[in-house]
């Protein structure tokens, strides 16, 4: 266990923004987890759980509390069920599965972050998402002080959501996750970008490892590596629509995609068609390769990012009538937020 004080949140989040965190505790065991929460409780400080920081945005005022960071690592397997400790890099889990010829998460290759965060936002890509293979998670319940197992039903998965980023935010610390995978292969047709890669490179082998290779190449071409280029991955969620809404959407000239996960509008397409791709606002660049991605080129404050986000949302809404929804969560100092509300009230 490691305890640090006054740690810049810009060093813990991949967008590289944010003020100082009062304390950061890296935990490596169940006893460390209990200690961290008791440490915060004894000082009447709030807690916030962070993984790789790829899906977290920090505010300028920082966080006057305790950041708990998962450093528990390792992958085990029993009868086709892979269990990954929460601090394990997610991509290492995918690589392990593919090496053992398991299908179910190969399309989730190169998604940044840790295994413990994967079910929190129900990560997904190219027709796969973690809810389809999820079995259970071992967690610490900070509300009751108990260690417990949560099932797939307990998570209440939906598109990019679970109870952990909606009704029960920051309540559960994910110690490990268990996934049930099968041997086999993804079935064609794949998503357009994968099919295009297959055509361009004359691919004929669709083993999990080869699909991983293709997805990795596609992501490397389109998406910046948050370890070297400040960004938060896909900043906006795609828009899911009902069958009844498809006619009105296509009448506007907006393409739709039908997949196993439903019917959706590509939010990146809306941003591109609004003329925003490649533009820089307040030091934030809208990627010209994947318009869902915002890159921090020179922004120094969260307010710069927020202003850019709001401008994009408003521009797309005015042009198409659809309101984009931000995907990364925000680490907000609730004490400061309440003080601001009172002073403005």
**Three-state DSSP string of 65-102:** EEEEEECCCCEEEECCEEEEECCCEHHHHHHHHHHCCE
Q: How far apart are CA 125 and CA 191, in angstroms?
A: 9
- From 109, 138, 162, 234, the catalytic residue: 234
* Residues in Cβ contact with 36 at an 8 Å cutoff, skipping those fewer than 6 apart: 1, 25, 27, 47, 66, 68
CB neighbour burial string for 249-270, b if at least 16 within 10 angstroms, e if fewer: beeeebeeeeeebebbbbbbbb
The position carrying tokens 């082998």 is: 205
Q: How far apart are CA 54 and CA 57, in angstroms?
A: 8
Strands (E) in 193-290, as ranges, are 231-234, 239-241, 257-259, 262-265, 280-281, 284-286
Tell me how far apart the terminal alpha carbons of the chain are, to the nearest angstrom: 42
- From 160, 212, 219, 285, the catalytic residue: 160
* Residues in Cβ contact with 64 at an 8 Å cutoff, skipping those fewer than 6 apart: 22, 45, 46, 333, 335, 336
* Residues in Cβ contact with 253 at an 8 Å cutoff, skipping those fewer than 6 apart: none
- Catalytic residue list contains 327: yes
How would you classify the pairing of strands 56-58 and 329-331?
parallel
- Catalytic residue list contains 160: yes
Q: How many CB atoms lie within 10 A of CB 282?
A: 18
- Catalytic residue list contains 234: yes
Q: How far apart are CA 119 and CA 101, in angstroms?
A: 22
The position carrying tokens 């920081």 is: 53
How would you classify the pairing of strands 2-8 and 293-296?
unpaired
Instruction: Return the active site residues.
Output: 160, 234, 327
């Amino acid at each position: 266990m490691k305890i640090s004080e006054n740690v810049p949140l810009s060093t813990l989040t991949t967008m590289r923004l944010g003020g100082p965190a009062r304390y950061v505790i890296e935990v490596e065991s169940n006893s460390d987890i209990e200690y961290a929460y008791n440490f915060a409780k004894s000082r009447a400080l709030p807690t916030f759980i962070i993984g790789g920081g790829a899906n977290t945005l920090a505010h300028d005022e920082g966080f006057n509390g305790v950041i708990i960071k998962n450093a528990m690592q390792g992958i085990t397997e029993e009868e086709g069920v892979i269990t990954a400790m929460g601090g394990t890099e997610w991509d290492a889990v995918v690589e392990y599965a593919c090496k053992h010829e398991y299908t179910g998460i190969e399309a989730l290759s190169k998604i940044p972050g840790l295994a413990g965060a994967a079910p929190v936002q129900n990560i997904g890509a190219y027709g796969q998402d973690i809810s389809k293979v999820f079995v259970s998670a071992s967690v610490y319940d900070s509300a009751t002080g108990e260690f417990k197992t949560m099932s797939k039903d307990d998570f209440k998965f939906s598109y990019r959501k679970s109870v952990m980023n909606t009704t029960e935010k920051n309540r559960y610390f994910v110690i490990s996750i268990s996934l049930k995978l099968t041997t086999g292969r993804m079935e064609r047709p794949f998503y357009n970008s994968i099919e295009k890669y297959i055509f361009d490179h004359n691919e004929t082998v669709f083993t999990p490892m080869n699909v991983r290779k293709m997805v990795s190449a596609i992501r490397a071409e389109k998406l910046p590596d948050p370890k070297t280029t400040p960004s938060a991955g896909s900043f906006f969620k795609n828009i899911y629509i009902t069958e009844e809404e498809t006619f009105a959407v296509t009448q506007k000239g907006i393409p739709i995609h039908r997949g196993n996960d439903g019917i959706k509008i590509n939010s990146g397409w809306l941003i591109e068609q609004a003329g925003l791709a490649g533009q820089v606002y307040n030091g934030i660049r809208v990627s010209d390769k994947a318009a869902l991605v915002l890159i921090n080129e020179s922004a120094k404050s969260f307010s710069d990012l927020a202003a850019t986000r709001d401008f994009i949302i408003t521009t797309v809404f005015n042009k198409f009538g659809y309101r984009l929804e931000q995907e990364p969560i925000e680490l907000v100092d609730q004490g400061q937020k309440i003080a601001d509300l009172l002073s403005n009230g």
